Chains A and B, each alone.
Chain A
Amino acid sequence: MESQGGAGDRELMARLAAGDRDALAPLMGRHYRRLYRIALSYLRQPDDALDVVQEAFVKAFQSASRWDGSAEAGPWLARITVNLSIDRWRRNRRRVQTFTPLAESDHAVSLADLGPSPDRRLEGREAGERVAAALRELPDRQRAVVVLRHYQDMSLAEIAQTLGMSLGTVKSSLHRALGRMRTVLAGERA
């Protein structure tokens, strides 16, 4: 996580709430990478993920006046990003019923930074495609719980705060989601 919140975020959010557009760039600098990874893990399409991050910051600017000053900006921004990712996912699903996995060119940027071994990269990519197939089978909110837990390493309490769920709902969602993914991945191996 690039930012743990704190005075910096609060000050920037307060400036945004006052309509100060100059606060956007530093706030984006602190959070955009993390939000991009949330959106990308959810949508698995780099272009869609960038669009979502852009939309999230526009929305953050427009909603800043309604931001609760005592809350952390990080979870608030993550929540906007997850909700926008879910919206985008639903729209894409309606538009294209078939899933399009990441193309080779789409992988170029991310895979280039992963490590020196081509075998390792290939292994990683295959794992990614298997995971993508399993994630695709999950309902929207379960998918969000899995993404925040296993791609953002959030605690269950943080996930509950980010998604506005009870802790019990987060636990049962995670249980069901992993069970479903296990079935899908086991089916692939069979």
Chain B
Amino acid sequence: MIFAHLRRRRLLSLLAAGALEGREREETLAHAASCPRCRDGLDELRAVVAAMETDPLREAEPGMPLAFLVARVEREVEAALVPGERPRWWLVALPAAAAVLAVAVIVPVIVARFRPPTEAARAAIPPAEASPLLTEDALARIERNLAREHAVRYLSEAGEVLVSVAATSVDCDRAEERLDVGEAPERSRQLLEQRAMVVRQGGEAVASARGVLDDVEMALREVADLPSCVERRDVERVRQEVERRQLLMRIRLMTRELEG
């Protein structure tokens, strides 16, 4: 009898939790009806469950748009795939390409001027246009690819900066409702300095990205003007601007297009 009662007490919790069905449920209800102490206990357990059912957190919405969260996750995934900061290889590649260009174009000219080849040598040396290093097509292709890579890097970094501002939740002054945007303004200024080179160097190769580049520039200018500890409404303004222009999605699509 005592064991049966103890078992029923355990079932009362499950009954209150809505986790009993059928015969077990009926028997436990009947037991509660015949045992005043158990009935009181059941009422209290139901009050616990009811308190959870009215808890506002049940229906809480994430305080960050999905696009920002996706961008944060993608950034983390990329960081995990490539340990450490990625080298800005185009900073090395551009001078290297220029050197190749100089060697390919100027050296043959100098050689031709100061040491006229013999008939046999002339026959052996292919015309400049025939060499893979010297063809204008090959050089143009290299330049085009470099320009696109440069634009991809620029857009990706700009996207990271915008996400870091729009998704920030770190207080720097809680009383004044100010948020910390860290180095985002400084990074924005650096990126804006690169923008001209991206466009000038890119030419036709990045022509399709002009619209995105222009909108990104406007957003970066807003961030560049911010202090590192900003009012919440400033962050909200940047976030709304990024959302309104669908910048993150457009950056992602454009980088894919440029990467081919």
Closest to B52 in A: A150
> B29: CB under 8 A from chain A?
no
Known: A25-B70, A32-B69. A62 touches B80 (CB 8 A): yes
A33 & B57 in contact (Cβ 8 Å cutoff) = no
Cβ of B47 within 8 Å of any chain A Cβ, yes or no, is: yes
On whether the beta carbons of B66 and A109 are closer than 8 Å, the reply is no
Known contacts being A131-B51, A171-B14, A182-B45, is A24 close to B77, with CB within 8 Å?
Answer: yes
Known: A28-B70, A174-B19, A181-B48. A50 touches B62 (CB 8 A): yes
Are B19's CB and A186's CB within 8 A?
no
Are B19 and A156 in contact, with the CB atoms below 8 A? yes
- Min CB gap A107→B, angstroms: 7
Q: Determine which of B58, B73, B77, B169 lies in contact with A37 in the assembled complex, contact meaning CB atoms within 8 Å.
A: B58
A132-190, CB < 8 A from B: 134, 146, 149-151, 155-156, 171-172, 174-175, 178-179, 181-182, 185-186
List, in ascending order, chain A residues with CB within 8 A of B16's CB.
Answer: 178
- A105 with B70: CB separation less than 8 A: no
Interface residues of B in 99-114 (CB under 8 A from A): none
Point out the residues of chain A lying under 8 angstroms from B70, CB to CB. Answer: 24-25, 28
Q: What 10 additional pairs, Cβ within 8 angstroms, besides A29-B66, A151-B55, A174-B13?
A: A25-B66, A25-B70, A41-B58, A54-B76, A58-B76, A110-B56, A124-B56, A151-B57, A172-B10, A181-B48
27 pairs across A/B with beta carbons < 8 Å? A21-B77, A24-B73, A25-B70, A28-B69, A28-B70, A36-B62, A46-B169, A50-B63, A50-B69, A50-B169, A57-B73, A58-B76, A58-B77, A62-B77, A110-B56, A123-B54, A149-B17, A150-B52, A151-B55, A151-B58, A171-B10, A171-B14, A172-B10, A175-B10, A175-B14, A182-B45, A185-B48
CA separation between A112 and B64, bound complex, in Å? Answer: 15
Query: With contacts A50-B62, A174-B14 known, is A150 near B57, CB below 8 A?
Result: no
B44 beta carbon closer than 8 Å to chain A: yes
Main secondary structure of the interface of B (DSSP, over half): helix
Q: Does chain B have a CB within 8 A of A128?
A: yes
Q: Is the CB of B69 within 8 A of A54?
A: yes
**Interface residue from A58, A146, A150, A175 paired with B80 (Cβ < 8 Å):** A58
How far does the alpha carbon of A155 sit from the alpha carbon of B19 in the complex, in Å? 7
Min CB distance, A182 to chain B, in Å?
A: 5
Interface residues of B (CB under 8 A from A): 10, 13-14, 16-17, 19, 41, 44-45, 47-49, 51-64, 66, 69-70, 72-74, 76-77, 80, 169, 177
* Bound-complex Cα distance A150 to B46 (A): 12
Chain A minimum-CB-distance residue to B76: A58
Verify A178–B62 contact, CB threshold 8 A: no
Which residues of A are in contact with B by a Cβ distance under 8 Å? 21, 24-25, 28-29, 32-33, 36-37, 40-41, 44, 46-47, 49-50, 53-55, 57-58, 61-62, 105, 107, 109-111, 113-114, 121, 123-125, 127-128, 130-131, 134, 146, 149-151, 155-156, 171-172, 174-175, 178-179, 181-182, 185-186
